[in-house]
Amino acid sequence: MAKARTPRTRWIEAGFDALANGGPDAVRIEPLAKALAVTKGGFYWYFDDREALLEELLSTWEHTLVDEVIEQIERDGGDARGKLEHLFELAESAEPRGLMRVELAIRDWARRDEGVRARLRQVDNRRTEYLRGLYAQFCEGPDDVEARCLMTMALFVGSRFIAADHGARSRAEVVNHALQRLLR
């Protein structure tokens, strides 16, 4: 009886785990195979080499956290404020699934790799362009739109780096309050 091949998606998930835990240097074929309890030969059914996996990780990250999110928000419909609220909910739901750890690992990787930095800029520009289109539907002008786009991106990315306490309020409560102010 032939042994079933480890699905491609499992290699990508293992790659994301390694990236989130140790950066791009931790994304190595042998340790991934060991984590999946398979031989490394199965890797080569799907990827030519480690670089191909790293590229696939970036493509999957972009597709999952940009394309699929925008598609879902547009499919679910609503006015601009409703779409932004839905976007905020989806962004917060990424945390328990470990997607934010991957996001932060890619941002750290981009500090040292020019190609990843260019890819990150492309992704952030796509995200900002989508936000811009939504905010433009109810904001007073382009300066207000741009400021809200920057604040939204800063909240989703930057708030993970701030260690301050918020008195009796939780971090989630403060972030939610900030996001609600952006919708006014």
Please check whether residue 13 lies inside any domain of the structure.
no
Residue 43 has pLDDT above 60, yes or no: yes
Number of domains forming the structure of the chain: 1
Residue 51 has pLDDT above 60, yes or no: yes
For residues 145 and 156, give the distance between their C-alpha atoms in angstroms, rounded to a whole number. 17
pLDDT for position 4: 62
pLDDT for position 164: 93
Please check whether residue 101 lies inside any domain of the structure.
yes
Residues above pLDDT 90, as percent of the chain: 82
- pLDDT of 151-183, one tens digit each? 999 999 988 888 999 999 998 899 889 999 999
Long-range contacts for 133-137 (Cβ within 8 Å, ≥24 apart)?
134/80, 134/83, 134/84, 134/87, 135/80, 135/84, 137/79, 137/80
Please check whether residue 138 lies inside any domain of the structure.
yes
pLDDT for position 3: 57
Name the amino acid, one letter, at 48.
D
Boundaries of domain holding 69:
58-182
Q: Averaged over 118-129, what is the pLDDT?
A: 98
Please check whether residue 86 lies inside any domain of the structure.
yes
- The CATH number of the domain holding residue 122 is 1.10.357.10
- Band of residue 107 on the pLDDT scale cut at 50, 70, 90: very high
Please check whether residue 32 lies inside any domain of the structure.
no
Supply the mean pLDDT for the chain. Answer: 93
Please check whether residue 131 lies inside any domain of the structure.
yes
- Band of residue 2 on the pLDDT scale cut at 50, 70, 90: very low
Please check whether residue 23 lies inside any domain of the structure.
no
Please check whether residue 103 lies inside any domain of the structure.
yes
Q: Averaged over 51-68, what is the pLDDT?
A: 96
